[in-house]
Amino acid sequence: MDTPRFHVWLRQLDQLSPSQWAQLHARVEQTDSDTVDHLLEAHPPTHCPHCHTSPLIRWGSAHGLPRYRCKACRRTCNALTNSPLAHLRQRSHWLDFAQALIDGLTVRQAAAQCAVHRNTALRWRRRFLAAPAQQQAAHVHGIVEADETFFLKSLKGQRHLPRPPRKRGGVGRTRGTGSDHVPVLVVRDRSGAMVDVILEKLDARHVRRALKPLIDTDAVLCTDGAAVYSAFAKVTGIAHQSLPMRGPRVRGAFHIQHVNAYDSRLKNWMRRFHGVATRYLDQYLGWRRLLERYREGLTPQVCVLEAWGHQHLTVT
Alpha-carbon separation of residue 3 from 13, 90, 116, 159 (angstroms)? 16, 22, 21, 45
User: What is the arithmetic mean of pLDDT over 54-59?
Assistant: 89
* Per-residue model confidence as pLDDT tens digits over 190-223: 999 999 999 999 999 999 999 999 999 999 999 9
User: What is the arithmetic mean of pLDDT over 142-171?
Assistant: 82
- Confidence at residue 157, expressed as pLDDT on a 0 to 100 scale: 75
Per-residue pLDDT at 224 exceeds 50: yes
Neighbours of 4 (CB within 10 A): 8
Q: What is the mean pLDDT of the chain?
A: 87
Nearest by Cα to 97 from 86, 87, 109, 79: 109
- Confidence at residue 38, expressed as pLDDT on a 0 to 100 scale: 87
- Confidence at residue 313, expressed as pLDDT on a 0 to 100 scale: 43
0.75 exceeded by the pTM?
A: yes
Q: Is 67 helix (H, G, I), strand (E, B) or coil?
A: strand
Rounded to an integer, what distance in angstroms lies between the CA atom of residue 73 and that of residue 53? 9
Reported confidence tier of residue 41, pLDDT bands at 50, 70, 90: confident
- Confidence at residue 43, expressed as pLDDT on a 0 to 100 scale: 85
User: What is the arithmetic mean of pLDDT over 22-31?
Assistant: 56
Alpha-carbon separation of residue 211 from 78, 183, 188, 196, 260 (angstroms)? 39, 14, 11, 10, 18
User: What is the arithmetic mean of pLDDT over 9-19?
Assistant: 78
* Per-residue model confidence as pLDDT tens digits over 283-304: 999 999 999 999 888 999 999 9
Which of 129-133, 161-165, 271-275 is most confident?
A: 129-133
Reported confidence tier of residue 189, pLDDT bands at 50, 70, 90: very high
* Per-residue model confidence as pLDDT tens digits over 118-149: 999 999 999 999 999 999 999 999 999 999 99
Reported confidence tier of residue 20, pLDDT bands at 50, 70, 90: confident
Question: Strands 239-242 and 220-223: what pairing?
Answer: parallel
Pair 207, 187: CB distance under 8 Å: no
Give the lowest-confidence range in 18-27, 129-138, 228-237, 252-261.
Answer: 18-27
Residue 51 is classified by DSSP as: T
Which segments of the chain does DSSP mark as H helices, in order?
Answer: 3-11, 18-33, 36-41, 94-103, 107-114, 118-130, 204-211, 227-236, 257-270, 281-294, 300-308
- Confidence at residue 274, expressed as pLDDT on a 0 to 100 scale: 86
Reported confidence tier of residue 67, pLDDT bands at 50, 70, 90: very high
In percent, how much of the chain has pLDDT > 90? 65
With a CB cutoff of 8 Å and minimum separation 6, the contacts of 271 are 169
- Confidence at residue 165, expressed as pLDDT on a 0 to 100 scale: 72
- Confidence at residue 148, expressed as pLDDT on a 0 to 100 scale: 95
User: What is the arithmetic mean of pLDDT over 229-258?
Assistant: 91
- Give the orientation angle of helix 94-103 with respect to helix 300-308, to 10 degrees: 100
- Confidence at residue 279, expressed as pLDDT on a 0 to 100 scale: 92
Rounded to an integer, what distance in angstroms lies between the CA atom of residue 61 and that of residue 164? 53
User: What is the arithmetic mean of pLDDT over 88-101?
Assistant: 94
Rounded to an integer, what distance in angstroms lies between the CA atom of residue 262 and that of residue 185? 12
Rounded to an integer, what distance in angstroms lies between the CA atom of residue 142 and that of residue 8? 64
